[in-house]
Structure 1
Amino acid sequence: MIIRLRLIKSLEVEELLVRGDSKLVIDQIRGYCGVKNKTLMKYHAKAVEISQNFKRIILEHISWAENEKEDRLSKLATTYYSELLEGVYVEVCDQPTYKEEVIKNITSSDTTDWRTPIIEYVANEKLANDNLEEKKVQNRSFKYQIYQGELYRKSWDGSLLTP
Structure 2
Amino acid sequence: MAIKSQVLANFIIEWSEVQMPPAVVGQEYWMMYFDGSLMKKGVGMGLVFVLPLGLCMRYMVHIHFPSNNVAEYEAHVNGLRIAIDLGIRWLNIQGDSQLVIDQVMKESSYNNAKIAAYCQEVRQLEDKFNGLKLNHIPRCLNEVADTLAKVASGRELVPMSIFASNQYKPSVYYEELEQTSDAPPALGSGANRPLAPSNPEVMELDEDLAIELDPLSDWRMPYLDYLLHEALPIDKIEARWLRRRAKFFILTRG
TM-score by length of 2: 0.38
- Counterpart of 1:128? 190
Q: How does 1:36-75 map to 2 (within 5 A)?
A: 36-75=111-150
Shift of 1:47: 1.2
Q: How does 1:8-19 map to 2 (within 5 A)?
A: 8-19=83-94
Of residues 74, 78, 85 in structure 2, which corresponds to 1:3? 78
The secondary structure found in structure 1 opposite 2:111 is coil
- Counterpart of 2:160? 86
Shift of 1:71: 0.9
Residue type matched to 1:69 in 2?
V
Structure with the bigger percentage of strand = 2
Could you tell me the percent identity over the aligned residues?
A: 24
Tell me the distance in 1 between the aligned counterparts of 2:174 and 2:120: 14
Tell me the distance in 1 between the aligned counterparts of 2:149 and 2:126: 20
Shift of 1:72: 1.0
Shift of 1:34: 2.4
Tell me the distance in 2 between the aligned counterparts of 1:7 and 1:34: 27
- Conserved 8 A contact 1:28-1:34: yes
The RMSD of aligned alpha carbons is 2.9
Task: Write out per-residue CA displacement over residues 108-156 of structure 1, whole angstroms, 9 at most, x where no aligned residue.
Answer: xxxxxx9xxxxxxxxxxxx9344xx69xx9xxxxxxxxxxxx9xxxxxx
Tell me the distance in 2 between the aligned counterparts of 1:89 and 1:99: 26
Tell me the distance in 2 between the aligned counterparts of 1:98 and 1:45: 9
Tell me the distance in 2 between the aligned counterparts of 1:66 and 1:100: 32
- Conserved 8 A contact 2:90-2:130: yes
Question: Structure 1 residues 100, 62: CA separation in 2 closer, same or farther (over 3 Å shift)?
Answer: closer
- Conserved 8 A contact 1:35-1:44: no
Of residues 88, 92, 95 in structure 2, which corresponds to 1:20? 95
Task: Write out per-residue CA displacement over residues 22-75 of structure 1, whole angstroms, 9 at most, x where no aligned residue.
Answer: 112112222222222111110111112112211111111111222122111122
Q: How many residues of Structure 1 are paired with residues of Structure 2 in the alignment?
A: 111
Structure 1 unaligned residues grouped into runs of 5+: 103-113, 115-126, 138-149, 151-163
Question: Structure 1 residues 101, 61: CA separation in 2 closer, same or farther (over 3 Å shift)?
Answer: closer
- Counterpart of 2:211? none
Structure 2 unaligned residues grouped into runs of 5+: 1-75, 177-184, 200-254
Tell me the distance in 1 between the aligned counterparts of 2:134 and 2:163: 25
Tell me the distance in 1 between the aligned counterparts of 2:165 and 2:131: 25
Residue type matched to 1:128 in 2?
G
Structure with the bigger percentage of helix = 1
Shift of 1:19: 0.6
Question: Structure 1 residues 66, 92: CA separation in 2 closer, same or farther (over 3 Å shift)?
Answer: same
